[in-house]
A = this chain, B = another copy of it.
Amino acid sequence: MRSQRTAIQDAAEVFKALGNPARLRMVRELSDGEKCVCDLVAAAGLGWSTVSRHLSILRAAGVVMDEKRGKQVIYQLALPCVSRFLACLENPSLYPAMHSACCGEDG
């Protein structure tokens, strides 16, 4: 029942979830398409337990969603804007420009 009571809080959760290199790496991996935890472990270069915790943080923030498939758990992005925003951030040359050509149109 914390729908608009914490709009900022919720948004902050998303940012906080993305504010970690390991999690960001995983998210970037997911931009490419859905992956099982094993793939994400490889992408993050960390232990299983650590990755699992990171994933639960991303899940709680609503950035990713999981789906059991056979004996694996498949993750995918739940927040497509993230890929776009990420693409923006990874083009530092676009930062200073006061246009958002990277994230959509200028309007």
A-to-B contact residues, CB < 8 Å: 3, 7-21, 23-25, 28, 62, 78-81, 84-86, 88-90, 92, 95-96, 98-100, 102-105
Q: Is the CB of B85 within 8 A of A103?
A: yes
Q: Is the CB of A99 within 8 A of B80?
A: yes
Task: Say whether chain A's binding surface is mostly helix, strand, loop, or mixed.
Answer: helix
CA distance A103 to B79 in the complex (A): 10
Q: Is the CB of A96 within 8 A of B84?
A: no
CA distance A95 to B81 in the complex (A): 9
Which of B8, B9, B85, B92 interacts with A81 by CB under 8 Å? Answer: B85
Q: Lowest 6 A-B CB distances belong to which pairs?
A: A104-B104, A16-B19, A81-B103, A15-B19, A15-B18, A11-B89
Q: Is the CB of A19 within 8 A of B19?
A: yes
